[in-house]
């Protein structure tokens, strides 16, 4: 158990809908990362937050948004969902987000858009 909690584990929804994925980092970790993993794309970096502030953005679509709350949990919002958004979404955390730190990953949320 990595200590990172992601909910829900599975999500099935329809095209055009909006969903929210939730992540609780390990106790004491201030940094949260979001990744998308699909079969053909591998693990794609979406966004990084540190202590409530956005630190870096990757290939995150405009339809997607994220935030980190004062209690350090994070949410990833996906809207106007398309079939291609079906993927495994991972959250990871680290203590401060420095580049020499390892990441601890949650078990992911499997999103299926039908």
Partner 1 sequence: SQKIEQNSEALNIQEGKTATLTCNYTNYSPAYLQWYRQDPGRGPVFLLLIRENEKEKRKERLKVTFDTTLKQSLFHITASQPADSATYLCAQTGYGGATNKLIFGTGTLLAVQP
Binding footprint of partner 1 on the chain (CB under 8 A): 2, 4, 33, 35, 42-45, 48, 50, 55-56, 58, 88, 90, 92, 97-100, 102-108
Q: Considering the complex, what minimum distance in angstroms separates the CB of residue 79 from partner 1? A: 24
User: How many whole angstroms separate alpha carbon 17 and alpha carbon 74?
Assistant: 20
Q: How far is CA 34 from CA 21, 26, 37, 56, 93, in A?
A: 10, 14, 10, 11, 9
Q: Considering the complex, what minimum distance in angstroms separates the CB of residue 105 from partner 1? A: 3
Q: Considering the complex, what minimum distance in angstroms separates the CB of residue 30 from partner 1? A: 13
Q: Which is nearer to partner 1, 50 or 64 (CB)?
A: 50
Q: Which is nearer to partner 1, 35 or 64 (CB)?
A: 35
List the end-to-end C-alpha distance of the chain, in Å, as a whole number.
Answer: 31
User: How many whole angstroms separate alpha carbon 87 and alpha carbon 52?
Assistant: 25
Q: Which is nearer to partner 1, 5 or 65 (CB)?
A: 5
In contact, 16 and 67? CB cutoff 8 Å? no
Q: Which is nearer to partner 1, 57 or 63 (CB)?
A: 57
């Amino acid at each position: 158990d990595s200590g990172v909690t992601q909910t829900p584990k599975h999500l099935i929804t329809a095209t055009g809908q909006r969903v929210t994925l939730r992540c609780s980092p390990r106790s004491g970790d201030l940094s949260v990362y979001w990744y998308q993993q699909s079969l053909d794309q591998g693990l794609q970096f979406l966004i990084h937050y540190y202590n409530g502030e956005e630190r870096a953005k990757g290939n995150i679509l405009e339809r997607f948004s994220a935030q980190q709350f004062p209690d350090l949990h994070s949410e990833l919002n996906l809207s106007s969902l398309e079939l291609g958004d079906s993927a495994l979404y991972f959250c990871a955390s680290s203590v401060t987000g420095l580049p020499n730190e390892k990441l601890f990953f949650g078990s992911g949320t499997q999103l299926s858009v039908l």
